[in-house]
Amino acid sequence: MLAALLSFAACEPKKQLSPWGDRSTPPLGLFVERPDLARHLVAIDAESRAEGLTPRNAYVATGRDGTAFEIRTFERRDKLGRTTYATRVASRWGVVLAVGPLDEDDPRTIATRFVESLPADGGASMQLPTDLNADGFPDVVLASDDGRMAVFTLAPRGAIEIRIDLHGGFRELRMLRAGYALWTHASDAAEPSTERIAPKYERIATFDAGAFVETSAAAQTWHEERARALTEAPENESVVGALDRKLERAFHRALATSKADARERILDELETQNPSDEALRKVWESALDNLATEIETRRAKDRKKSR
């Protein structure tokens, strides 16, 4: 009898133990994300303390869907005594952006310092972050030690760096009918003994097809308008002032077109307008060479765009 009972017990199937209790499958709630901005900020604070970072400022921005982003900035000294920066951005879904601090052997061209504001039209100042590419989400601008700037667009679950194709990088913002534009300028300051030719070559890049580019239709329209504004000579314009204006107008006309032969004709026109003063003529010729170099960067961009 005992043998029969033992035999029966051995044949009885063993009960499987489930990590989910009496359920054979996990509950759906285990796979549901739990938004918690406070928890992610605690994680940022813990990581920053472990990295020896000193907290500086905090900023809040909101996306079109109501997602709140908290931006926190930090500093620390590296072993060489240089100030290094770090920027962290969190949403309720996680840490969406984390850059810096740089180590001693990292290139100083990496943008890690949060930019609070940028110069804008008419001497105004644009507070950041703001929506630069009109996608409904805030954009963060970071700067490197050598002055280069990068733009990151924030999203609920991540951040993407926006490509910027603008010769010389950007320094300021401009507001156009088409939206924000990144702006920069280069000055050609050749100096003879008594006169100075110093045109200011302004460039902009507008958001087009996922990037800020200076070959966009909006940028070309802006250059056309700038060229028209420089057509008429102001009252009591000096000789040098007239030369500056002619160079700047030619520059804007050249960047307003994508046709290489049209740009060549613009340069040819200027070569027939040499000043009569011999000393000034030498500076003018140098300025024409510099202008041709500035315009050549546009030709390279057109070739790249056509590929």
Q: Mind listing the pLDDT tens digit for each residue in 52-81?
A: 999 999 999 999 999 999 999 999 999 999
Rounded to whole angstroms, what are the CA distances from 187 to 134, 209, 292?
31, 30, 14
pLDDT 10s digits, 124-157 = 999 999 999 999 999 999 999 988 999 999 999 9
Tell me what the mean pLDDT of segment 275-290 comes to.
Answer: 87
Per-residue pLDDT band for 210 (boundaries 50, 70, 90) equals very high
Mean pLDDT, the chain, integer? 87
How would you class 10 by CB atoms within 10 Å of its CB: exposed for 0-12, middle for 13-18, buried for 19 or more? exposed
Dihedral angle sign, alpha carbons of residues 53, 72, 56, 87: positive
**Residue 194 pLDDT level (bands cut at 50, 70, 90):** very low
CA distance 293 to 126: 32
Predicted confidence band of residue 90 (pLDDT cuts 50, 70, 90): very high
pTM of the model: 0.82
Name the band, by pLDDT with cuts 50, 70 and 90, for residue 302: low
For the chain, the domains span 36-118+125-159, 166-307
Q: For residue range 245-267, list pLDDT tens digits in order.
A: 999 999 999 999 988 889 999 99
- Read off the pLDDT band of 279 (50, 70, 90): confident
State the pLDDT at residue 8. 43
